[in-house]
Structure 1
Amino acid sequence: VEFQALIRNPLLVHNHVSSICSTWGRDHFKTFDGDVYQFPGMCEYSLISNCHDSYQLFSVHIRRAEKDGNPTISYLAVTINELLFHISKTWVTVNYDKVPLPYYKAGVQVENNAAYIKFQSKVGFTVMWNREDAVMVEIDTDFANRTCGLCGDFNGVPVYNEFIHNGRKISPIEFGNKHKAHHPNDDCEDPYEEDLVEVATVSDSCKKFLTFCENMFLSESWSSCAKLIHPKVYIQACVKDMCGCSNNTNDFCVCSTLSEFSRQCSHAGGQPPNWRKTQFCAKECPYNMVYEESGSPCMDTCTHQDTSSLCEDHKTDGCFCPSGTVFDDISERGCIPQSECQCKHDKIYNSGEVYRQDQEEWYGMWDCITLETPATCAIEQGSYFTTFDGKTYTFHGDCYYTLAKVESKDRASPKFTLLAQLVPCAHQQFDTCLKSLKILLNNDKNNVLSFTSDGVVQQNMQTVTLPYQSGDIDIFHASSFHILLQTRFGLQIQIQHVPLMQVYISLEQSYRSKTRGLCGNFNMILSDEMKTPQGIVEGTAATFSNSWKANFMCSDIEERLDDPCSLSLENEMYAKHWCALLVSPDSAFAQCRSVVDPEMFYKRCIYSTCSCEKSEACLCAVFSSYARACAEKGVLLTNWRENVCDTYAKSCPASQTFSYTHQRCQLTCRSLSSEQQSCTSDFLPVDGCSCAEGLYLNENGLCVPVEKCSCFYNGNYIKPGTSINIRDDHW
């Protein structure tokens, strides 16, 4: 055999030929060092491995088979460290477990496109297989002179040391047989090793094909490639293919080597012609894609629209989208104009549709804008605080404390102060309860709204009936568990009183840096959240919280480091059993785990359930807090009360129904009166009991249709069907 090295052009920056090994056609191989030889083995052979290192990091094996008289590669076996990948035309396994594609794990990417299966490893090599006869391996130069296998030793010198053994030139068959992969009970036979090295001359019987092959490879259309890749070895391979074919009209006889020459031209930085015709070596592409001999493998898609502009991979053949289009990888509609791309987030959105989450609004092509949404301060389970800026801390108080002292955002808006009463729960050493919330409008002690843990609402010590409206303030039942306070000056408060009192205070962004107290500064800076009234930033939650006592006669509270679960094994077992629902992959909470991390809520749940006198009440309060956090992120949890906390769901008054997603502000007949219609439904869905859609709660506590509602006028209820005179008008 005459061993012909490929001509390399060192001036071409993008010439990758010297780091590429390939096999194609019936039995052709090209080593990294440029030798082209034929090896007809049909067993499993090592294509490449880093055999000269003390530890074998990787290896690539191939096995050929005959199909319809033509050779094909039946599978690849790639080993990296402890991972074994078996790659066939239709499936991929990792350590014998089938995996879906694309596969991205442990520094390995396995992708499947219209033309190739591509295996890429961060170790430093890439394998591409056209699912038929051709495999290409590209390797980093770090492995120079460190490889073995049919791809050679990658030392940059042709022939040496692949085909020289103990000073003797060996045949390609002997060289190939050295790299057979031996498996138990494998009876595959090696091809016969000749005693003499045959000379690579074209036999007389095959010379009739020489002119045909030369005319193809030396034609003008291939001239740019011939300047980069010496065509002689490919002409010889073409002749052998044609000579070995029983049916010379078979495309495979000539197409395989011509395809390889085209690929090598691309690797060398050239531009092969689009030589395929409908009746000659044609390739079919899915959808409306077109086959090109040399295109960017980084195809723009609807989800990655700038991939090609950032691509560093060299060009290759394959199926590509026509110019001006991108591939629709969302609805799999083929190649479409970029303007027609959809987007996907849980479901598919057409261009122009809007998806909103948290403080961002997502449009059809993910053109994002930041929304001026309110920030929320929360007091949960009586001792867990979350500030407007998102800082969390724990404090077990015993006094009235200033949650937020808010300055006016403009001349028209009032100042106001929010006070929370924290007290130790009855008979409990570790338990703290939120007892009441007070709102001082314009910091006037004679203008106070108060909410208590039993659901009572008072103004200036006088109990008021809901719905209630006064000036810029509306107060109403969002459900039997929740009371909503809405204002027209940017404050909204959600008061939960079942099973425990929990409070969520929301302020518009216009109040940034205009508030102080346990809810923080609302200045988007976490480092100064714990600032005292004197402007000192404290380091502990207890010192910070004590500084905001509304009554300085109250004693300061010290940090608690005790574990309440240590006092009762029974409570600890109960807490761990039920709190585990928050982190269980099979519970109703599981669908939210990727959006809201349940770990913090799980720890709260264990502590609160162990410390609480009514363990189930505290457990359910934490579950409710997590459900609300999920609702803030757009995930509405339902059915989480089915196995626990169902006492509250089953205790609805007659004619009312339980729901996890109440979001109506007008739930009573009284709320329908004209002077009470100023509330809005722009609050998070809440759970609890209320009248079903289309029904309203009358003054007797029954759900009735609107036509059976009493009217409310001038402080009095007027029965349905009754008429009255108002300012000379008869109603």
Structure 2
Amino acid sequence: MIQSNAYCGLITDPSGPFQNCHAVVDPRSYFEDCQYDLCELHLNNAALCESLQAYADVCQTAGVQLAPWRNATFCPLACAANSHYEPCAAACPATCVDPTAPYNCSLPCVEGCVCDSGYLLYNDRCVPSQQCGCWHNGQHYPVGSEFWTDNTCSSKCTCPSRGSKVQCFNASCPAGQYCGVQNGKPVCLEHSYGICHVHGDPHYQTFDKVTHNFMGNCTYTLAKVCSNTTSLPYFNVEAKNEHRGSTQVSYVREVVVEVYGQRIVIVKQQMSHVLVRSGTLPVSAAGGAITVSRSGRYIVLETDFSLRVSYDADHSVEVKVPTTYFNLTCGMCGNFNNRRDDEYMMPNGQQAADSNALGESWQVPDSDPSCGVPVPSPPCSDEDEKLYGSDQFCGILTSRPSPFESCHGVINPQDYFDTCLYDLCALNGGQEFLCAALEAYADACQAAGVTLLPWRNATFCRELETACIVS
């Protein structure tokens, strides 16, 4: 039996630190629980301390003042910086908000950590009392703190000294940052982006990384501003699809961007150069707020608020939207809200049953009446699926080693492998469809800053350039 006063016997010791409590709270059940725990846990010191603390807590709750039972080597209670342990501390600690709280506290004392002399509790830390600062609109702010007064980050205040009034002044976020909200408070955040990628025949990878396979050949809304309350510039991005050789699939034929009252159309052309009605690239519109230029094989439209729409004039479209538009968009590219469970949202606010229903709901009303959604292709045979999944086809995306291996840790290739397999099964394994799938993953990797090994050559996936800009 574990009865030594070095163990559970401390609880019942008539001359021990808990003696004043024996007449108020019977120690026997706590002693027995302590013995049981130590036997089961093989004299675990932490279990002993927890048993002693349980009896100490119930005694202090009953109003009994105990003698110290902890010390530096026996059940020490670790305290944070600028604080110390007291066996009978005020249950209402002195804080920056209420330094006199212990003197007006009606609760019995508790053991715990107490701020050292000259320090007060603020946000679970003991700070020098002179750092306890100012009140503003019912909130307390420590000395030297700064805070925004509204969700537009247009006014900032500071607390200069203890007990003083806050000092406020006009301000704004630094260049390259925007005003956002974190934990319910306005803060300046670094700009980041949501990226929607449309590629192949076609596949839509939304801002929130859900992939839709939708083969409709009408005109569809990719992304637009759907909030009526935002003061941010409005934009609308649409894509018109077309059949190429097979009515089972479709590809992007043109991209339309509406912004700042301008309507700019980038159209696929069967020629090896770019035609621009208003002049050679780069061109600008809306007083320079819109620019259209070439970047590699892409035609890129950019605005002064960091919207970026890229089209390779073949099959691949990327819509890049700054985080200021978080949760403000709708369309095939989704809501841009970091949620994957609402990526089938139709214009009426309901969730579509599948990707086909979603795509049809975002068809632009003035689309060609003869367009539509083709009948789904028959499933791939097991033999073909194995072939197209091999390293000679789509498997090159996921295999190691491969030209794409350096990107695996940045962008998971599985979605691109799946869409590649989907395309080759639907289109009987044509090399141009394989190249389009590999190209889509390569573009995503390079956009993420990954340098890939060469994967094209003179006979495999040779690059072509075809586009026309109409502004």
TM-score (norm 2): 0.52
Distance (Å, rounded) in 2 between the aligned partners of 1:453 and 1:419: 18
SS of alignment partner, residue 399 of structure 2: coil
Question: What are the ranges of 5 or more consecutive residues in structure 2 without an aligned counterpart?
Answer: 9-38, 43-72, 76-187, 466-471
Equivalent residue number for residue 403 of structure 1: 222
RMSD: 4.0
Equivalent residue number for residue 701 of structure 1: none
Equivalent residue number for residue 202 of structure 2: 383
Give aligned-pair identity as a percent.
25
Equivalent residue number for residue 490 of structure 1: 306
Distance (Å, rounded) in 2 between the aligned partners of 1:559 and 1:508: 37
Give the aligned residue type for 1:383.
Answer: P
Matching of residues 255-654 of structure 1 within 5 Å: 371-406=190-225, 414-426=233-245, 428-442=246-260, 447-452=263-268, 462=277, 464-470=279-285, 471=287, 472-479=289-296, 481-497=297-313, 500-550=314-364, 551=366, 553-554=369-370, 556-557=372-373, 560=376, 562-563=378-379, 565-566=380-381, 573=387, 576=390, 577-612=392-427, 615-641=430-456, 645=460, 647-648=462-463
Equivalent residue number for residue 175 of structure 2: none
Contact 2:217 2:251 in 1 (8 A): no
Change (3 A) 1:639 1:417: same
Distance (Å, rounded) in 1 between the aligned partners of 2:397 and 2:3: 62
Give the aligned residue type for 2:360.
Answer: N
Contact 2:394 2:421 in 1 (8 A): yes
Distance (Å, rounded) in 1 between the aligned partners of 2:424 and 2:308: 29
The Cα shift of 1:422 comes to: 1.3
Q: Which has the larger radius of gyration?
A: 1
Give the aligned residue type for 2:393.
Answer: W
Q: Deviations over 1:669-701 (max 9, x none)?
A: xxxxxxxxxxxxxxxxxxx9xxxxxxxxxxxxx
Contact 2:220 2:240 in 1 (8 A): yes
Change (3 A) 1:558 1:429: closer
Q: Deviations over 1:599-637 (max 9, x none)?
A: 222222222234347822221222222223333544321
SS of alignment partner, residue 430 of structure 1: strand
Matching of residues 158-197 of structure 1 within 5 Å: none
Equivalent residue number for residue 42 of structure 1: none
Question: What are the ranges of 5 or more consecutive residues in structure 1 without an aligned counterpart?
Answer: 1-6, 14-140, 145-267, 271-368, 652-687, 689-731
Matching of residues 171-250 of structure 1 within 5 Å: none
Distance (Å, rounded) in 1 between the aligned partners of 2:5 and 2:437: 68
SS of alignment partner, residue 631 of structure 1: helix
Distance (Å, rounded) in 2 between the aligned partners of 1:405 and 1:388: 12
Distance (Å, rounded) in 2 between the aligned partners of 1:613 and 1:418: 32
Contact 1:449 1:458 in 2 (8 A): no
SS of alignment partner, residue 443 of structure 2: helix
Give the aligned residue type for 1:381.
Answer: G
Matching of residues 689-700 of structure 1 within 5 Å: none
The Cα shift of 1:573 comes to: 3.1
SS of alignment partner, residue 421 of structure 2: helix
Contact 1:491 1:507 in 2 (8 A): yes
Contact 1:378 1:503 in 2 (8 A): yes
Q: Deviations over 1:13-44 (max 9, x none)?
A: 9xxxxxxxxxxxxxxxxxxxxxxxxxxxxxxx
Distance (Å, rounded) in 2 between the aligned partners of 1:535 and 1:457: 39
Change (3 A) 1:474 1:580: same
Change (3 A) 1:611 1:559: closer
Distance (Å, rounded) in 2 between the aligned partners of 1:469 and 1:377: 24
Distance (Å, rounded) in 2 between the aligned partners of 1:595 and 1:394: 23
Change (3 A) 1:413 1:599: closer
Distance (Å, rounded) in 1 between the aligned partners of 2:402 and 2:442: 13
Q: Deviations over 1:555-611 (max 9, x none)?
A: 552673632x449x7797366332221222221222332332222222222222343
Change (3 A) 1:621 1:558: closer
Contact 1:389 1:520 in 2 (8 A): yes
The Cα shift of 1:388 comes to: 1.9
Distance (Å, rounded) in 1 between the aligned partners of 2:429 and 2:215: 17
